[in-house]
Amino acid sequence: MRKIITLILLFVVLLPSQVLAATSTSTVDKLYFESYKDQVKEVKDAQKKLNDIYCTNVKALTEKAKASTTRYNNAVKSKATKDVLAKVKAERDLDKKTLSSAKAKCSATVKALKKKSDTALKEIASYKAKVVTTIKNHLDGKDKLTEDNFTESVYKSLSEIESKFDAILDSLSAD
């Protein structure tokens, strides 16, 4: 009976202390990665602005296509000659084709840049997870790193993450 009570007391005392001793991921995030979510949000915002950067001619071409369509419709309503209709129709068709081509090029460029930046974000998240594990292990005393080596390692990792975010933002803003 004494052994059972002793075991129960050990579980009651030791188990919670072991659970409390473990460093949580949220604690590590707050201490070391305070700007991470802001940087991810900044990349997502930059992705949303890609159309404005790479599709500047689409708006002008849309207006031009609308204007040529209106001219064609007015020519049809006014029963213009075949030559005038053919000329206006050819202009309208050319404007629509140019607009379609510009939209396709814009869409492909934006899609490729978003895919590239999303892949880079996934790589950063994976790297961050490894760094978090390293930090947690050190804070829980499960590694052999000295405090100086740990600090240097964390600084290098955080600098690398920061440089990767900068590279993504550079690739999204100017190509």
The Cα 110–Cα 154 span in angstroms is: 34
pLDDT value for 17: 42
Q: Long-range contacts of range 53-62, CB-CB < 8 Å, 24 or more positions apart?
A: 53/173, 54/106, 54/109, 54/110, 54/113, 54/175, 55/102, 55/103, 55/106, 55/110, 57/102, 58/99, 58/102, 58/103, 58/106, 61/95, 61/98, 61/99, 61/102, 62/99
Phi, psi (5° rounding) for residue 50? -60, -40
Report pLDDT digits (tens) over 129-145: 998 988 888 888 888 88
For residues 127 and 175, the answer to whether their CB atoms sit within 8 Å is no
pTM of the shown model: 0.71
Phi, psi (5° rounding) for residue 150? -65, -50
Handedness of CA 151, 156, 158, 159 (dihedral sign): positive
- Residue ranges of alpha helices (H) inside 78-146 are 82-139
Higher pLDDT pick, 108 / 80:
108
**Average pLDDT across the chain, whole number:** 83
Give the pLDDT mean for 4-26.
52
Report pLDDT digits (tens) over 29-71: 787 888 888 999 999 999 988 888 888 888 899 999 999 999 8
Q: Where are the domains of the chain?
A: 24-173
The Cα 12–Cα 9 span in angstroms is: 5
